[in-house]
């Protein structure tokens, strides 16, 4: 028996988008979603992606903007190839002798000179110079790292460019002396050794790219301008660099305490030498030590007991070894 016309299944959807229903009044008043809420193509902002199949996919290259996502801190020390960057693009150099040497170096590209009025007069700098900025002493204090002993002068310049190690080693004379630093990162020690390298006529100073202080700032300050005249070679692999020097006729002498050969004996034969210094504490790395022709020590009268010097500062040890090489 016919019970009358069948009820239209789509009744009640007139004026609404297909597949979308408004939540009931009771759902709105209670703050709870109606049945159709589960069919919404979007979740609330702040929901963790991946918790449901209807979570909107994140666009490529973007970050979640929800309140629950923690922003990633930028790593300003990352280098071009992912390593720690040791030198900013145009770092500041400060200190009287260091700045004076930079200004006098025709090979330097200077971007800005920041000095006090009295310092400008001492340096003979005129106010019409394009890259000159005359400021108060406290202005320089705020522009440089805390505690920088700038003496009222600072300069921002592009890094110096030097020939590669192979060319420097090959072009050097028969009594050439090259100083190699194995992961020595303290700017005061490196600056002091640059000063020693200048004093003893070192052909070049070699350091590892990832384990060297910036060639500016405190390093340049301690080096008192010698950073402008001593060639610096930044190498990726120190052990490979030693093998390269051996190909050019250099005898590689590494300083280490676990040997009976003295540095005077190791450097007594004449000819080309490469002197390798290890970091304070760990000393030479195993692979670096294996690539040395000879390991040598500095004889000391003190013993390994409390109150006596067990070892020397690396810059002090370098000074003794360089003196023996040139004696």
- Tens-digit pLDDT profile for residues 245-301: 999 999 999 999 888 999 999 999 889 999 999 998 889 999 999 999 999 999 987
Diameter over CA atoms, the chain: 125
Calculate the average pLDDT of the chain: 79
Task: Find residue 253's DSSP bridge partners.
Answer: 275, 294
Distance (Å, whole) CA 113 – CA 222 = 19
Residue 29 has pLDDT above 90, yes or no: no
> Is it the case that residue 180 has pLDDT exceeding 90?
yes
CA dihedral 266, 270, 271, 276 (to 10 degrees): 30
* pLDDT tier for residue 90 given thresholds of 50, 70 and 90: low
Do 302 and 159 contact (CB within 8 A), yes or no?
no
Task: Please compute the mean of the pLDDT values over residues 77-100 and round it to a whole number.
Answer: 62
Question: Model confidence at 311, in pLDDT bands (50, 70, 90)?
Answer: confident
Using the structure block, give the residue that is written with the tokens 């600072």: 154
Domains annotated for the chain, with CATH where assigned, are 92-157 (3.30.1330.30), 165-301+309-326 (3.40.1280.10)
What's residue 302's pLDDT? Answer: 78
Rg of the chain on CA atoms, in Å = 33
Give the helix/strand (H/E) hosting 193: helix 187-199
- Residue 112: per-residue pLDDT: 94
- pLDDT tens by residue, 191-237: 999 999 999 999 999 999 988 999 999 999 999 999 999 999 999 99
């Amino acid at each position: 028996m016919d019970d009358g016309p069948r009820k239209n299944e789509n009744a009640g959807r007139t004026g609404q988008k297909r597949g979308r229903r408004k939540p009931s009044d009771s759902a709105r008043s209670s703050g709870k979603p109606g049945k159709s809420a589960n069919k919404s193509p979007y979740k609330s902002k702040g929901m963790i992606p991946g918790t449901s199949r209807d979570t909107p996919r994140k666009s490529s290259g973007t970050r979640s903007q929800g309140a629950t996502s923690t922003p990633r801190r930028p790593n300003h020390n990352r280098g071009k190839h992912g390593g720690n960057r040791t030198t900013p693009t145009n770092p500041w150099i400060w200190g009287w002798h260091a700045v004076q040497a930079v200004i006098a170096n025709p090979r330097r590209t200077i971007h800005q000179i920041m000095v006090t009025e009295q310092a400008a007069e001492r340096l003979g700098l005129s106010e019409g110079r394009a890259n000159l900025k005359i400021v108060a002493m406290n202005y320089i204090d705020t522009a440089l790292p805390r505690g920088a002993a700038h003496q009222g002068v600072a300069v921002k310049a592009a890094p110096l460019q030097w020939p590669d190690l192979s060319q420097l080693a090959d072009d050097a004379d028969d009594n050439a002396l090259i100083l190699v630093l194995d992961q020595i990162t303290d700017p005061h020690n490196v600056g002091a050794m640059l000063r020693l390298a200048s004093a003893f006529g070192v052909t070049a100073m070699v350091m590892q790219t990832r384990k060297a202080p910036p060639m500016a700032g405190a390093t340049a300050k301690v080096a008192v301008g010698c950073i402008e005249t001593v060639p610096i070679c930044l190498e990726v692999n120190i052990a490979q660099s030693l093998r390269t020097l051996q190909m050019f006729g250099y005898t590689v002498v590494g300083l280490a305490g676990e040997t009976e050969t003295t540095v005077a004996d190791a450097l007594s034969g004449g000819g080309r030498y490469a002197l390798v210094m290890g970091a304070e504490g760990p000393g030479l790395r195993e692979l670096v030590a294996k690539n040395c022709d000879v390991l040598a020590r500095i004889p000391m009268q003190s013993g390994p007991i409390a109150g006596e010097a067990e070892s020397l500062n690396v810059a002090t040890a370098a000074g003794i070894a360089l003196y023996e090489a040139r004696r």
